[in-house]
């Protein structure tokens, strides 16, 4: 399914050009226009899904192997020493384009530094309560 108003549908399906580093029947992988580091890539499915919660299991099963392939190529091709795999899901998590995409962000020994969360604190009681709230809300998908 393609969404006529979706920029990533247009890019993934070739209607708008982008710096493409990989393409197959299901995905186009492009460079991000506002890279967090050199080589910052986006894996775009050609089919439209708003976010990871909407992804088909067929496409989902292919995303992580492709992320690993791209990350390894960033290390080999660019001299990156590591990479982050990121999926922002929802506005409050920083998602700005509502066509599912996976960021593959190369990391280099000399930076740039990229903001991560600051570890907080908790207690065993709070952890037990929080875990219960989440586990009780997991849908039975069997
Ligand atoms: P999000 O914030 O939704 O997780 O990530 C969206 C990403 O898409 C951002 O990193 C942004 O720089 C990138 N982006 C937005 N529009 C375009 C575009 O038209 N072309 C490319 N190559 N990247 C885009
Ligand atoms: Zn789309």
Indicate whether 1 pLDDT > 60.
no
Number of Cβ within a 10 Å radius of residue 28: 20
Residue list, CB under 5 A from ion ligand 2: 3, 6, 8-9, 48, 99
Angstrom distance (rounded) from CA 73 to CA 1? 30
Instruction: Please report which confidence band the pLDDT of residue 140 belongs to, taking 50, 70 and 90 as the band edges.
Output: low
pTM: 0.95
What is the CATH superfamily name and number for domain 7-115? HIT-like (3.30.428.10)
Which protein residues are within 6 Å of ligand 1, measured from CB? 7, 18, 30-34, 42, 88, 94-97
Nearest-atom number in ligand 1 for the CA of 86 is 4
Asked if residue 142 has pLDDT above 70, the reply is no
Instruction: Give pLDDT, residue 116.
Output: 84
The string of pLDDT tens digits covering residues 75-127 is 999 999 999 999 999 999 999 999 999 999 999 999 999 988 899 999 999 99
Give me the residue spans of the domains in the chain.
7-115
**Residue 115, pLDDT score:** 86
């Amino acid at each position: 399914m393609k969404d006529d108003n979706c920029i990533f549908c247009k890019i993934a399906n070739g209607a708008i050009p982008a710096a493409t580093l990989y393409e197959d029947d299901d995905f186009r992988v492009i460079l991000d226009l506002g890279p967090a580091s050199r080589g910052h890539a986006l894996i775009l499915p050609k089919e439209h899904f708003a976010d990871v919660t909407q992804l088909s299991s067929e496409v989902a099963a292919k995303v992580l192997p492709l992320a690993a392939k791209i990350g390894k190529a960033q290390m080999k091709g660019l001299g990156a020493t590591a990479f982050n795999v990121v999926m922002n899901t929802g506005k409050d998590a920083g998602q700005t384009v509502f066509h599912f995409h996976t960021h593959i962000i190369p990391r280099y020994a000399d930076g740039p530094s990229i903001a991560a969360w600051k570890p907080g604190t908790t207690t065993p009681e709070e952890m037990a309560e929080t875990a219960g709230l989440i586990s009780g809300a997991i849908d039975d998908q069997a």
